[in-house]
Amino acid sequence: MMKNTNQYINSEKKRFLSELLELLKIPSVSADSKHDKDTRDCAKWVLKAMNNSGLKNTQLIETAGHPVVFGEFIIDSALPTVLVYGHYDVQPADPIELWNSPPFEPVIKDKVIYARGSADDKGQFYMHLKAIEAMIKTDELPCNVKVLIEGEEEVGSENLDLFIKNNRELLSNDVIIISDTHMIDNDTPSITSGLKGLAYMEVEITGPNRDLHSGTYGGSVANPINVLSKMIASLTDENNRITIPGFYDKVIEVSLEDRVEMGRAPFSEKEFKASIDISMEDGEKGYTTPERQGIRPTLDVNGIWGGYIGEGAKTVLPSKAYAKISMRLVPDQNSIEISELFQKHFESIAPKSVKVKVHTHHGGEPVVTNLNSKGYKAASLAMEKTFGKKPVPVRQGGSIPIVSLFEAELNTNCILIGFGLASDAIHSPNEHYGLFNFYKGIETIPYFFKYFCEL
């Protein structure tokens, strides 16, 4: 007798895992040109994996950057089409000395896979390939499916923009499903109902035209690092509100009623603090930690440098100081507008004693999910089926810039059904992904297809 999808998944579990471990060995670090060949090798690996999973019309498509990988299984054009999106690129592994095992030599310890990309996003998009394989091989795929896995998410998906605009027909669909976010915990399934946008700036402050002796010149010439520190400090006030004029103008305030509803999602202040070893949380006055993370815009310095940072003490008044500053945005803020507001403000607060340059890096727009959409309902039913509990919607602080572009260009909803955990340490040393989560995802995804087609 032919197996059904569940039986197929159960009997192939071991192989699914060993394939994922192979994928995790490829250091596809998109930001680092030293890894360009590895990143391309990874795309080729994904292409082969799509073929092995039974997808047709598979293609490795060149872009101006790292290639995109596509595959599909079209049963009948009259049936709905689900588009799966994921990314095969990963964040750099450094600081490498803080890893307990090498980032690209996956190990399984206590039912958890440790490797760069295990949760973000290789372990998550691979669940979709395996779920699709199971449905195809058992003849239980209820509709058409397309799969798009890109290699530049971690560097802003800049080339994917053009790819989507030029390939609307190839990518046409009825719903887009993405597993690249996390749930509350393994007993509390949740669906990401919103992501933040991003405006990412880099600033350069120049004082004197060369480094100076800090005794001879100190106190008589503006020190760019002192100046930059004051400028940055002034970007937020004593209530941790951002001081850039106009910054909050377009923020849609979430109603008290909706905030009460959001507050139902379980959250332990105590566990949160313990998990990152802090004694006190901090953020915009008047909001809870989950609200600060999910529904309020934020500003953070990601890096700051300048002057002497070598061994010992060198007395120097540096010529330059730099910082990378990101702002996470909520509806209806727009990343271009916010970047411009930042630039104008930052230039205006610089004292005459220094020169200031402001550069805008890639950005992205915020998104919120319509909880009444067919896609959301199907995802909710699917999780309820496999977790035995109805998932709660949670707005999250991360960004996937391509989501808003997908929705605008392809005119469909993106459903963010991630199976990771906040504690997976994505982008950090010792990133990991639970076997429970990997298998639960594979088990849940076919139900999403089923319910989406039935609704």
Of Mn ion, ligand BES, none, which one does residue 398 interact with (CB within 5 to 8 Å by kind)? Answer: ligand BES
Least Cβ distance, residue 352 to ligand BES (angstroms): 35
Q: How many residues lie near ligand BES (CB under 6 A)?
A: 16
Q: Binder to Mn ion among 121, 133, 150, 431 (CB under 5 A)? A: 121
Cα–Cα distance between 160 and 162 in angstroms, integer? 5
Restricting to residues 172-191, name those near Mn ion by CB under 5 A: 180
User: In this structure, is the dihedral angle defined by the CA atoms of residues 299, 125, 171 and 393, taken in order, positive or negative?
Assistant: negative
User: In this structure, is the dihedral angle defined by the CA atoms of residues 129, 131, 134 and 140, taken in order, positive or negative?
Assistant: negative
Of Mn ion, ligand BES, none, which one does residue 396 interact with (CB within 5 to 8 Å by kind)? Answer: ligand BES
Backbone angles phi, psi at 430, to 5 degrees: 60, 35
122 or 130: CB nearest ligand BES: 122
Residue indicated by tokens 């596809």: 28
Least Cβ distance, residue 433 to ligand BES (angstroms): 12
Return the DSSP state at 17.
H
For ligand BES, which stretch binds (CB under 6 A), given 22-30, 110-118, 148-156, 203-211? 148-156
Answer for the pair 390, 377: CB distance below 8 angstroms, yes or no.
no
Least Cβ distance, residue 388 to ligand BES (angstroms): 24
Restricting to residues 164-193, name those near ligand BES by CB under 6 A: 180-182
User: In this structure, is the dihedral angle defined by the CA atoms of residues 417, 418, 422 and 423, taken in order, positive or negative?
Assistant: positive
Query: CB 376: neighbour CB atoms within 10 A?
Result: 21
Of 70, 180, 71, 123, residue with least CA distance to 403: 180
Q: How far is CA 34 from the centre of its chain?
A: 23
Of 192, 397, 194, residue with least CA distance to 300: 397
197 binds ligand BES (CB under 6 A): no
Of ligand BES, Mn ion, none, which one does residue 431 interact with (CB within 5 to 8 Å by kind)? Answer: none
For Mn ion, which stretch binds (CB under 5 A), given 7-15, 112-120, 201-209, 319-327? 112-120
144 binds ligand BES (CB under 6 A): no
151 or 364: CB nearest ligand BES: 364
Count each helix (H run) and each strand (E run) in the chain, helices first: 13, 18
Cα–Cα distance between 165 and 158 in angstroms, integer? 12
Answer for the pair 118, 109: CB distance below 8 angstroms, yes or no.
no
- Residue 291 has which token pair? 């609200």
For ligand BES, which stretch binds (CB under 6 A), given 100-108, 278-286, 385-393, 396-404? 396-404
81 or 181: CB nearest ligand BES: 181
Q: Which residue is nearest to ligand BES (CB)?
A: 398
306 or 391: CB nearest ligand BES: 391
401 binds ligand BES (CB under 6 A): yes
Cα–Cα distance between 320 and 316 in angstroms, integer? 11
Q: Binder to ligand BES among 190, 343, 396, 412 (CB under 6 A)? A: 396
Crossing angle of helices 36-52 and 5-24, in 10° steps, is 160
150 or 180: CB nearest Mn ion: 180
Q: Which residues make up the interface to Mn ion (CB under 5 A)?
A: 120-121, 180
Q: Which residues make up the interface to ligand BES (CB under 6 A)?
A: 120-121, 153-154, 156, 180-182, 195, 198, 364, 396, 398-401
